[in-house]
Amino acid sequence: MKILNFGSLNTDHVYKVKNFVTPGETIKSTQYIKKVGGKGLNQSIAIKRAGHDVFHAGAVGEDGQMLVDFLKKDNVNTDNVKLSEIPTGHAIIQVDEKGENCILLYGGANQNISESFADEVLQDFSQGDYIVLQNETNIVPCVIEKAYEKGMKIIFNPSPITETILNFPLGKVSLFILNEVEGEALTGESNEDKIILSLLEKYPSAEFVLTLGSKGAIYFNKTQKIAVEAEKVEVVDTTAAGDTFTGYFIANIAMGKSVNEALSIATKAAAKAVTTLGAAESIPYM
């Protein structure tokens, strides 16, 4: 069984600030660092660092070699990371004194992936293989359709959430990994229990993991519900906590761990990730 992650690669420009900049305001940052990121890349790194091989597919511009090298250094397969004429995607990330972040994205090469490239990539994958997707590339609905036809297990992290996601063929997704904000956007509900009921009603054959930040995470499907608590740690930067959780959960399920074990390991990995500044660099090794 192979894991293919068809996802974004970003250069992260990280600015430490006292408080997030507000409309009309100009503020000074206290620190600037250029980091490796992108929800897709972060999740591939997390899958690999959790102990499972992963094939990453996506696109970077000529300025993106650093991201490909980073993946290669961790032995993520990058044969399907394509060189685009468009510049590499990037993120402007403010991290405040509490370790919370806010992120502005430029899609760049991530938003310029063709259907024929998706066909090329998927040629090497078949029934039972996992495909991991987030919402930072332009090709998500098309890849869901194609992967479904092949009988792949489709894992979707609907992040960042956009209105267009509601038009994706989400009935073909096998496993959703999402947070409360994303759950609310998909269901129109704001209460945790109602979000769960509504998701099960809308996508009855899917499995779900709902992450709840400092409150932990819940796995559920039609017949089962398993909750784990979060670890208590000193937060430096929450960027990529969700990506770390997602990659670790997927890798551990793929390696045959129970849902309970996978949730617990993923929660610990995410807790460790928030104790360091940065996205991919902060993802721990198993």
Structure tokens at 78: 């990058």
Closer to ligand RIB by Cβ: residue 15 or 220: 15
Separation CA 50–CA 268 (nearest Å): 11
> From the CB of 209, what's the least distance to ligand RIB, in Å?
16
Cβ neighbours of residue 70 closer than 8 Å, sequence gap 6 or more: 36, 41, 45, 280
Closer to ligand RIB by Cβ: residue 105 or 196: 105
Separation CA 263–CA 253 (nearest Å): 9
Q: Name which of 82, 238, 222 is nearest 230 in CA terms.
A: 238
Q: Give the β-pairing of 207-211 and 175-179.
A: parallel
> From the CB of 179, what's the least distance to ligand RIB, in Å?
11
Widest pairwise Cα distance in the chain: 52
Separation CA 181–CA 212 (nearest Å): 10
Closer to ligand RIB by Cβ: residue 41 or 228: 41
> From the CB of 280, what's the least distance to ligand RIB, in Å?
7
Torsion (CA) 82, 83, 84, 87 in degrees, nearest 10: 120
Q: How far is CA 47 from CA 13, 51, 216, 280, in A?
A: 23, 7, 20, 11
> From the CB of 10, what's the least distance to ligand RIB, in Å?
4
243 noted as active-site residue: yes
Separation CA 234–CA 55 (nearest Å): 33
Closer to ligand RIB by Cβ: residue 21 or 103: 103
Which residues contact ligand RIB by CB under 6 A? 8, 10, 12, 37-39, 42, 91, 103, 136, 239-240, 242-243, 279
Cβ neighbours of residue 45 closer than 8 Å, sequence gap 6 or more: 70, 71, 74, 76, 247, 280, 283
> From the CB of 152, what's the least distance to ligand RIB, in Å?
23
Separation CA 199–CA 143 (nearest Å): 22
Closer to ligand RIB by Cβ: residue 44 or 77: 44
Closer to ligand RIB by Cβ: residue 226 or 284: 284
Asked if 231 and 267 count as a contact pair (C-beta separation under 8 A), the reply is: yes
> From the CB of 230, what's the least distance to ligand RIB, in Å?
17
Active site residue ranges: 243
